[in-house]
């Protein structure tokens, strides 16, 4: 898929089929995250991939905005060292992975991590080191049905030249 088509077609998928996503595709997705822009080239992120249904159900039960996690093929958790720009860096990695998911014909959904009351419990489930923060989680799977991207504001509504009018 052409780059700008990937961006235009990216959407949040919350219903997944039973089809398992192959390890090689998950590795491609994580590799896209690894290549994200990062302040001072710190690359503070580490990704934990889970496919064990018991773990997915446990995390699903903790996340009020993620009831679909249990049905995903995989969950990619984005952890970060507590650096000055950990949110920006890890959000860039998350977005790269979401675009890779779209380009590969899969479905994914970003689930918030940082500042959520379940973040520490998820960190402990995955045995992430002290000082690492859960920034986001991404549910990944084959979409159960065809989804369409949600409408976005037009460019003229968000672009300003030189200053606000």
Q: What is the spatial distance between Cα 33 and Cα 37, in angstroms, rounded to a whole number? A: 9
Q: What is the spatial distance between Cα 137 and Cα 129, in angstroms, rounded to a whole number? A: 17
Tell me what the mean pLDDT of segment 97-123 comes to: 97
Please give the C-alpha separations between residue 150 and each of 111, 134, 141, 153, in angstroms, as whole numbers: 17, 27, 19, 10
The pLDDT score that the predictor gives to residue 116 is: 95
Task: Look up the pTM and report it.
Answer: 0.95
The overall average pLDDT reported for the chain is: 96
Reading phi first (left if > 0) and then psi (alpha if -120 to 50, else beta), residue 31 is in: alpha
Class of domain 3-158: alpha beta
Q: What is the spatial distance between Cα 22 and Cα 100, in angstroms, rounded to a whole number? A: 14
Sketch the domain layout of the chain as residue ranges: 3-158
């Amino acid at each position: 898929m052409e780059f700008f088509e990937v961006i235009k077609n990216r959407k949040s998928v919350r219903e997944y089929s039973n089809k398992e996503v192959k390890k090689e595709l998950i590795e491609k997705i994580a590799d896209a995250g690894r290549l994200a822009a990062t302040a001072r080239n710190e690359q503070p992120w580490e990704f934990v991939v889970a496919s064990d249904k018991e773990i997915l159900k446990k995390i699903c039960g903790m996340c009020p905005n993620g009831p679909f996690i249990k049905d995903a093929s995989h969950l990619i958790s984005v952890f970060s060292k507590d650096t000055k720009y950990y949110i920006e860096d890890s959000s860039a990695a998350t977005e790269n992975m979401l675009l890779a998911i779209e380009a590969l014909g899969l479905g994914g959904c970003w689930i918030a991590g940082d500042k959520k009351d379940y973040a520490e419990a998820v960190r402990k489930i995955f045995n992430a080191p002290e000082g690492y923060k859960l920034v986001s989680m991404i549910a990944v799977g084959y979409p159960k049905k065809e989804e369409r991207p949600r409408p976005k504001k037009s460019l003229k509504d968000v672009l300003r030249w030189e200053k606000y009018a």
